[in-house]
A = this chain, B = another copy of it.
Amino acid sequence: MELWYTEEWTQNVRLSIKATRHLYSEKSEFQQVDILESKEFGRFLTLDGLMMANEKDEFIYHDCIVHPAMATNPNIKKVLVIGAGDGGTVRELTRYPGIEKIDMVEIDELVVRSCQQFLPITAEKLDDPRVSLYFEDGVAFAKNSKDGYYDLVIVDSTDPIGPGEGLFSVDFYKDCYRILAADGILVNQHESPYFERDAREMKRSHSKIKALFPISRVYQAHIPTYPSGHWLFGFASKKLDPLKDADFAAWKELGLKTKYYNTDLHTGAFALPTYVREMLDNATA
């Protein structure tokens, strides 16, 4: 028997991965949660049939969603993480001794529990004493958070369809702005510029954020298991510029080993292809 996991990148494009075992399959109140095993990618988590994280390349996504903000402001102490149920974002954050508090808000407890059982590579640091886990709606959590409380908000969401939808709304971004400190940073997974539907969501998200934040930039990464492999992250802030204000000396002083991120790549990642730049410049909600 051959077992193939197939993901529709568009109606006309599919990525298929040969699986060796289907380790976990449950339907939560919010979505279908599966964990499979494969030779090429090791174990991987899918939500509603879409690849979220796998053992081979999760380091790329998690390096990119955490380290550029931390290198821009190595004094970050309080972090709010929304989504990120596999735990990889929190794992990278816990490597910073200066971080004092990480509030992680994941709407779907089943995602966290299944990853703790089957995907320890990402979930292993969720029991760090600085981490508080909340199984709640991230939109409501942000609404109820105090003004200026967080130094960094990371929105590590699924696509803007299903449970992740509210995390792409103007009201939510307004709360992110409000709950961030004066030098606060918002990082979000920002979809892809390549296939039409993803690019539409990217443009909508970007137009909303840039209307609210004085500084709003986008950076890119190679994530082969996401549609097209060309993935974007948003960096928005009240004050700090990710290039001019980056404190690479302080970041290097920390001595963190990273497999994808480095300070040259930090700068390079903000240099976008012309067609992506134009999409972002022309983006409207």
Contacts and interface: CB of A to CB of B under 8 A. Distances in A.
B271 A259 contact: no
Contact of A265 (B40, B230, B265, B272): B272
Contacts of A271: 262, 264-265, 267-269
A270 interface: yes
Identify the interface centre among A16, A220, A260, A273: most chain B CB within 10 Å of its CB. Answer: A273
Nearest to A267: B271
A260 B277 CA distance: 9
Given A60-B273, A265-B272, A273-B60, A39 B12 contact: yes
Contacts of A275: 259-260
Given A14-B15, A224-B230, A229-B229, 11 more contacts: A4-B14, A12-B17, A12-B39, A13-B16, A194-B222, A222-B228, A222-B229, A228-B229, A260-B275, A262-B271, A268-B268
5 contacts: A12-B39, A222-B229, A259-B275, A262-B271, A262-B277
Interface of A: 4, 6, 10-18, 38-40, 57, 60, 194-195, 220, 222, 224, 228-230, 258-262, 264-265, 267-275, 277
